[in-house]
Structure 1
């Protein structure tokens, strides 16, 4: 199979978290980015030729992906390819056959017979080989993947069919494969595949927050992170986390490089976070290199990278509306 990932979807509900990065590069689960999950699923399914079609905001994503070495996609043949849109209109953006057609040479040079098209914001293991087996067995033209009755906007079809679709899209009125599947006039045989494993769709601030904290449940963690289907990401070397004598940590995910002197409960801390004495962090997500000052209290808060909290600051959010702290800011005490 040839793998195609939509890394251009944006949702206004993420507010400032995606103001300076794409949704695909949004930090998740302490040390990953959202795109790591679908990209790793493809690699674990034996896919060695992956194309990522991005939106306009791609600097953070490109820095994360690099040459694709972490996913074993730094290859002489096949490997990782990144395509950005040349235009800004809706028709020119990803998911559109216009975007594919401008990179037609890539599809023609690839040797794979089948194509899997998916999004970047699904978290959970998917074995595309199982889906391909059923696609071939049912002799379908297009297979659409569902989870609990909801479309994952993931499709498998033959590459030649995809080529014919985006070569004729203007005459047929199709701008994306989604239009093809939902058009009742088409003559294609559509197969519906129900994926029964754990999958979470990150399409809002609330789903990002709730899914992140859901990973603190061992039953959920064990479904997402398995030995046989590892999630690969960009490796950054940091020293082990230091837990001082006065530190109290319970039901939390702490990345390496942190220094904990306060209390952390039911929270996720990314790399190199410092928690001062007397500080309390509950039900919160703290991204890389944040500094939490002494006696601060953060409950229901999402803190973007490189934020510094001075002594004694108290912030509170809820599961429905977590409090967001912008990247690189300094939260001053009174």
Structure 2
């Protein structure tokens, strides 16, 4: 079944709750797990399922996403035939909602006609899971489904398998049918299509709010969850960066945390995630927090239940104590000083 499925990733997702982290990037490019971006999971799932042609449909702030994915080399998608494609949304308005907007697809309909793959898998960009789409296709063909919706614990994961020819028909007939996306078709009991469900068993988290992002990040600190998500036989790929190992001084203490390359740790880190090139000063305690790339935290600080975006600077003596149900979020490039908290 190699090269029988076309990958389609809707990267237009946006949630108001995540606004502080989406000012300079799309949701698909949101960092997670120390070195990954949200899109890495669905894209790796497709590559591990022998999908060699993937189309990404972005809308908001997608420069960071394109910089992360590049030519697709890290996913073996830099090919002369098929490979990785970007199709930005040409000025769609707020009414174009739902994963896999047919209006968005319609602007690039020729891509679907040029594709040789018989089937297409349409997915959102913000579901963290490790799934093989080949068994989904096998069951889809065996039962004779028109559309297969992938679910977890009975809830839709907003991933749909459909024949490419049927997808083209749905796009072209959208004005007559009123369908705006795959969800509309699946939920219409009178559509006339045979809709099947495929239950995925395993680690699944959908990041659609600050709380979901924060809690998902903490769950990745659990060894069993990590092993369930990051499997040797189906690895999660990401952009490779050449950076030195993290340096831990004699003052440092780290427990149950993810620490990426290039960090410099002098303080105490507990139950937290540190992205690349983060600096933690002396006598500083960090717990239950997510610290993104190149953030600098001074000496004698206390950070609990905090999310720092990229390039944040925390000056000496700062205390930031958030609530696990309402973590403090510091936007990219901000400076937080002790005098600001007094």
Whether these two folds match at TM > 0.5 is yes
For 1:86-101, list aligned pairs within 5 A.
86-90=90-94, 95-101=100-106
- Offset of residue 92 of structure 1: 5.2
Structure 1 stretch displaced more, 95-104 or 269-278: 95-104
Residue 92 and residue 124 in structure 1: after superposition, are their counterparts in 2 closer, same or farther (change >3 A)?
Answer: closer
2:164 is aligned with 1:159: yes
- Report the secondary structure of 2:338's partner residue: coil
Corresponding residue for residue 187 of structure 1: 192
- Offset of residue 55 of structure 1: 1.1
C-alpha distance after superposition, 1:248-292 (max 9, x if no partner): 111110000001100001100000001110011000000000111
CA RMSD of aligned residues (A): 1.0
For 1:123-134, list aligned pairs within 5 A.
123-134=128-139
Corresponding residue for residue 142 of structure 1: 147
Q: 1:54 aligns with which of 55, 58, 66?
A: 58
- Offset of residue 170 of structure 1: 0.3
C-alpha distance after superposition, 1:25-68 (max 9, x if no partner): 00000000000000000000000000001113211111111111
- Offset of residue 215 of structure 1: 0.8
2:112 is aligned with 1:102: no
- Report the secondary structure of 1:219's partner residue: helix
2:229 is aligned with 1:224: yes
- Report the secondary structure of 1:57's partner residue: coil
- Offset of residue 165 of structure 1: 0.9
- Report the secondary structure of 2:192's partner residue: coil
- Offset of residue 124 of structure 1: 1.4
- Offset of residue 88 of structure 1: 2.8
For 1:244-259, list aligned pairs within 5 A.
244-259=249-264
Q: Does the Cα contact within 8 Å between 1:40 and 1:232 map onto a contact in 2? A: yes
In the alignment, the residues of structure 1 paired with residue 267 and residue 57 of structure 2 have an alpha-carbon distance, to the nearest angstrom, of 43
Corresponding residue for residue 337 of structure 2: 332
- Offset of residue 90 of structure 1: 3.5
Q: Does the Cα contact within 8 Å between 1:91 and 1:175 map onto a contact in 2? A: no
In the alignment, the residues of structure 2 paired with residue 268 and residue 33 of structure 1 have an alpha-carbon distance, to the nearest angstrom, of 14
Corresponding residue for residue 321 of structure 2: 316
Extract unaligned runs of 5+ from structure 1.
none
- Report the secondary structure of 2:286's partner residue: strand
- Report the secondary structure of 1:21's partner residue: coil
- Offset of residue 133 of structure 1: 0.5
TM-score, scaled relative to structure 2: 0.96
TM-score, scaled relative to structure 1: 0.98
Q: 1:64 aligns with which of 56, 62, 68?
A: 68
In the alignment, the residues of structure 1 paired with residue 328 and residue 175 of structure 2 have an alpha-carbon distance, to the nearest angstrom, of 45
Structure 1 segments (4+ residues) deviating >6 Å: none
Corresponding residue for residue 269 of structure 2: 264
2:213 is aligned with 1:208: yes
Corresponding residue for residue 43 of structure 1: 47
In the alignment, the residues of structure 2 paired with residue 135 and residue 79 of structure 1 have an alpha-carbon distance, to the nearest angstrom, of 25
Q: 2:12 aligns with which of 8, 11, 19?
A: 8
- Offset of residue 91 of structure 1: 5.0
Q: Does the Cα contact within 8 Å between 1:267 and 1:281 map onto a contact in 2? A: yes
In the alignment, the residues of structure 2 paired with residue 37 and residue 297 of structure 1 have an alpha-carbon distance, to the nearest angstrom, of 32
Structure 1 stretch displaced more, 284-293 or 81-90: 81-90
In the alignment, the residues of structure 2 paired with residue 41 and residue 325 of structure 1 have an alpha-carbon distance, to the nearest angstrom, of 31
In the alignment, the residues of structure 2 paired with residue 3 and residue 25 of structure 1 have an alpha-carbon distance, to the nearest angstrom, of 18
- Offset of residue 150 of structure 1: 0.9
2:299 is aligned with 1:294: yes
